[in-house]
Amino acid sequence: MITSEKLENATLDDNNLLLAARLVREHYYPKRSGTLLDWILVFAVKDLLRDHPPIRPEDLAQVIIKTPEITSQGHLSRYLAASIGTEAGRGRIDASSVFSGARQFSLSRISAMSVFLIDRGHGLCKTRLTKLLFYCDFVHYSLYGRSISGATYVRGLAGPELFGYERILKTMAFMGVVGRSADNEQVVEVRDDSLLDRLMILEFVTMQWVWSTYGPMTAGEITEHACRESVHRFTCLDNPIAYEYARMLQRLPDESVL
C-alpha cells in the first residue's frame, strides 16, 4: 500500500519517467508500439507526475496503473489527449519528420552552419563541431518548431551525434567548404564561406546564442554536458532522437532577447 509519507520522500528522475511511460504503453497500448510515439507517452506521463507527489521506482506500476485518483474518470487519458493534441497542433503528420526537425535535410545548410561555427572557433575539433551542430538544430527547433539543417541526430555512447557525420564531413571537404588542419587532422577549418547566405537571420541568432553558451567549452566539457541532457535519455542507443525532446534541454535562450 502506498502511503503519503512514501510519496513525499520519493524522487523521480529520467529513468523513472521512462519506466513509467513504458508501463503505460504495455498496460494500456500493448499493440501500439509502432504507432503511439514515444515522446507523446513521455510528456503525458511527465505532466501527470508533475501534478502528483514524487513517486519511487518500485511504486510506479501501482500509482500509474492502479491508483484510483489517476485512473478514474479518464485521468490518464486526459494527459495523453493533451500530449497528442499538442503534437497534432504543430501540424506534423509525418512521424519521420520528427527526426529531421520538420525540415528536409540540406547539405548546404549543415555546411553553412559548420562554416559559421568553425569560423567562430578559428578551427574546431570534430567532437566540438558535432555537439554544437546538435545544439543549434535542437535549440532552434525548440524556439520555432523547425530545425536549421534537417539533420538527424542519434544517441551515441558520447551523447547526441550527427547521423552520418564522417560522410557529411568528407562531402563538405570534397565541395571545398572545409578541410582538415595541417597541424591536427582532428581539427576542421573553413575553406569557403560562400554558403553562409543560405541561412536566415533568426538562424544566425540561434547559432550565435549556441556559440556564446557552449562555444567556450572544451571537447570534454561539451561532451560531458551533452551526455547529461535529458533530451536523449528516452532514446535507445544508436537510434534517432526525436526533436520533440528539445523542450527538455537544460539551457534554452530567453525568447525575449532573440
Work out how many domains the chain is built from and give that number: 2
pLDDT band at 154 (very low <50, low <70, confident <90, very high): very high
pLDDT confidence of residue 23: 61
Q: Are residues 157 and 241 located together in one domain of the fold?
A: yes
Q: Are residues 53 and 103 located together in one domain of the fold?
A: no
Q: Exposed, middle or buried by CB within 10 Å (0-12, 13-18, 19+), for 175?
A: middle
- Average pLDDT, integer, range 198-203: 95
Q: Are residues 132 and 249 located together in one domain of the fold?
A: yes
pLDDT tens digits for 46-76?
A: 666 666 666 565 565 566 555 555 444 445 5
| Final residue in a domain of this structure, among 89, 116, 131 | 89
Q: Are residues 30 and 75 located together in one domain of the fold?
A: yes
Q: Are residues 106 and 84 located together in one domain of the fold?
A: no
pLDDT confidence of residue 178: 96
Q: Are residues 176 and 52 located together in one domain of the fold?
A: no
- Average pLDDT, integer, range 200-221: 96
Stated pTM of the model: 0.73
- Average pLDDT, integer, range 158-185: 95
pLDDT confidence of residue 97: 82
Q: Are residues 55 and 125 located together in one domain of the fold?
A: no
Q: Are residues 82 and 106 located together in one domain of the fold?
A: no
More confident residue, 78 or 103: 103
For residue 180, the surrounding DSSP H or E stretch is strand 178-180
Q: Are residues 67 and 124 located together in one domain of the fold?
A: no
Q: Which domain holds residue 14?
A: 4-89
| Mean pLDDT value across the chain | 79
User: Which triple of cell numbers denotes residue 80?
Assistant: 495523453
